[in-house]
Amino acid sequence: MYVPPAASVFEQILWWMEIATEAFILLRSINARLYGKYLAFFIYLSAVLLIDLLRFCVLTLHPNVYAPLYWYTQFLHAGIGYAVILEIYRQTLNNSPGVARIARTFLWGVLAAVILKVTWNAVSGPVWSPGTTSAELERDLRTVQAILLAGIIALIAYYVVATGRNLKGIIFGYSAYIYASVVSLAFGALPGYGLRPGWRLVQPIAYLAALLIWGCTLWSYSLNPAADTESKIDRDYKLIAEQTRRALSRARSFFKMGGEL
């Protein structure tokens, strides 16, 4: 969260609560041997904690350089949040390797496209501003993450994918934070709204709520239930893959025959 040098007492309390909760969840994950089970998620949480501690030290010791540091580290903060999406998709599709492979390729492609878009806009613009570029990257990434979360939630509901308490907590907590962030960034960018102090509190409050959800649902390891038989998502994947192979085979035959059917 962005905490200006003249932050209110409430903003400072929120920041301290976030740091303390992040540290608690990480220590608990090591004690409960959860860290390796959800590696990408806990790497994200570890990186966020380190960024928060770095920002706090700079704000305390060198407040005049805090603002530029915040925007530079926001590049990293916005990017590593994508690790949670990767973790959610990996865990959800753990029993469907073919679908998981396609989803993983798609997710990395989307991330690369967003970063290239924001980089191109920054380079092609008349004046490069780290604050503007970071804000654009965060807005685009949060929007993409919101769409991807809606997609995985719809997939879980449609195919009735069995999920354990840990995965449900990660999905619910991160979804609450992402959708609150999208609303906050959208309204905060409107003329007359961005300068209102209240909009600075939406994201940190939502993030603290997500941390509390994770603290409860990640208290101990909960294995995702395994499917007893071939799932509907696997059957649909095999059907689509077979239809695709037939279409490609017909296309190759068409060109080998010189365009004659």
C-alpha torsion sign, points 247, 249, 251, 253: negative
Do 235 and 174 form a contact (C-beta atoms < 8 A)?
no
Read off the pTM: 0.81
Q: How confident is the model at residue 38 (pLDDT cuts 50, 70, 90)?
A: very high
C-alpha torsion sign, points 102, 41, 167, 1: negative
Do 22 and 52 form a contact (C-beta atoms < 8 A)?
yes
Average pLDDT, the chain: 78
Q: Which helix (H) or strand (E) holds 70?
A: helix 66-80
Contacts of 163 (CB under 8 A, 6+ apart): 91, 92, 156, 171, 224, 225
Residue with the larger pLDDT of the pair 258 and 95 = 95
Contacts of 162 (CB under 8 A, 6+ apart): 224, 225, 226, 227
